[in-house]
Amino acid sequence: MKPDNPSSRSASTCLVEIRHEPAGQFTAQVLGVSELHSTAPTQEQAVDQLRALLQQRLDSGALVSIEVSQENPLMRWFGYAKDDPDFEDYLQEIRKYREEVDRLDEHGSDSGECSDTSSTPTT
């Protein structure tokens, strides 16, 4: 995978942890990257300094932006039967079954056939 060209990069975000230090200072640290941090008298200054540090790393090539796929792995199964030669026959059988069920529903179930369901509870 080829890293993005710095000039073609768009703005991105990262999680930054802010800690209030005992000496009245604030430390901003990129979450999960302990060496990328800055400490300043205010939270805003710490974040601004961290942003500048990240930009320096990006500009020097020490950090690169890569794209990570967010595709749902289950999606690969959709459409798996599209090349199955029997799939159309399968769909036709489903259509026939649905038509028969619809026809039975229209005429009621008093055609003399026994129902395979009952409203009488069994014990």
Calpha distance 19→48 (Å, rounded): 15
57-93 tens-digit pLDDT: 989 988 888 887 788 888 877 877 778 889 889 899 9
The pLDDT of residue 117 is 64
Spell out the alpha helix ranges (H) of 26-120: 43-60, 87-107
- Residue 12's closest CA among 25, 29, 30, 34? 30
Percentage helix, strand, coil for the chain under 3-state DSSP, each rounded to 5:
40, 10, 50
29-56 tens-digit pLDDT: 999 888 999 999 999 999 999 999 999 9
The pLDDT of residue 81 is 77
Q: Are 30 and 38 in contact (CB under 8 A)?
A: no
